[in-house]
Amino acid sequence: MGQFTRRAALSLGAGTLIGTAGYLSGKSFSNARDVPYFTSPGPMDSQYTVDVTLHATPSVHPQSTDLPYTRLDLLADAIRYAVPSLSSDNFDILVNVTIAPTPAPAEFETSRDYSALVDGFTDYVMSEIDDGTRGGDANLLVTDTVTEELRGHGEIPASIYTDGCRPGQAVMGSGSDINPTVRQAATSARDGVLGARLNTAVHEVGHTLGLEHTMGDAWRDPENDDRVIVTPMLSTYVYTNKDGAVRDENKYGTSLPDIVENDDVYLTFTPQFNPEIPVSDLILGDDIDPVCTVTDIAHDAVVSE
pLDDT 10s digits, 4-43: 333 233 333 322 222 222 222 222 233 334 333 333 334 4
The beta strand positions in 178-265, using DSSP E, are: 190-191, 218-221, 224-230
| CA atoms of 287 and 93, how far apart (whole Å) | 17
* pLDDT of 200 above 70: yes
Instruction: Give the model confidence (pLDDT) of 203-243 as tens digits.
Output: 999 998 889 999 999 999 998 888 999 999 999 999 998 88
Q: Give the mean model confidence (pLDDT) for residues 61-86.
A: 86
- Our count of domains for the chain comes to 1
Q: Give the mean model confidence (pLDDT) for residues 281-300.
A: 50
CATH number for position 203? 3.40.390
| CA atoms of 250 and 221, how far apart (whole Å) | 18
CB within 8 Å of 139: residues ≥ 6 apart = 52, 53, 55, 121, 125, 129, 167, 168, 169, 170
Global pTM reads 0.78
Domain boundaries, position 34: 2-213+276-300
- The total number of residues written for the chain in this structure: 305
**How would DSSP label each residue in 70-101?**
-HHHHHHHHHHHHGGGG--SSEEEEEEEEE-S
* pLDDT of 136 above 50: yes
Instruction: Give the model confidence (pLDDT) of 152-179 as tens digits.
Output: 777 776 543 434 456 778 888 878 777 7
Q: Is residue 130 part of a domain?
A: yes
Q: Is residue 19 part of a domain?
A: yes
Q: How much is the pLDDT for 111?
A: 63
Mean pLDDT of the chain: 74
Residue 1: half-sphere exposure toward Cβ, Cα within 13 Å? 13
Longest dimension (CA), the chain: 52
Q: How much is the pLDDT for 19?
A: 23
